[in-house]
Structure 1
Amino acid sequence: MVDDKSKAVAYWQANVRLIIGSLVVWAIASYGLGILLRPMLAGISVGGTDLGFWFAQQGSILTFIGIIFHYAWRMNKLDRDMGLEE
Structure 2
Amino acid sequence: MPPCTWGYKDPLPDVDYDPKRASQLLADAGYANGFEIQLWHMPVARAYMPAGKRAAEMMANDLAQVGVKATLVTDDWSVYMKRLMNGDH
TM-score, reference length from structure 1: 0.29
Bigger share in strand: 2
TM-score, reference length from structure 2: 0.28
Bigger share in helix: 1
Larger radius of gyration: 1
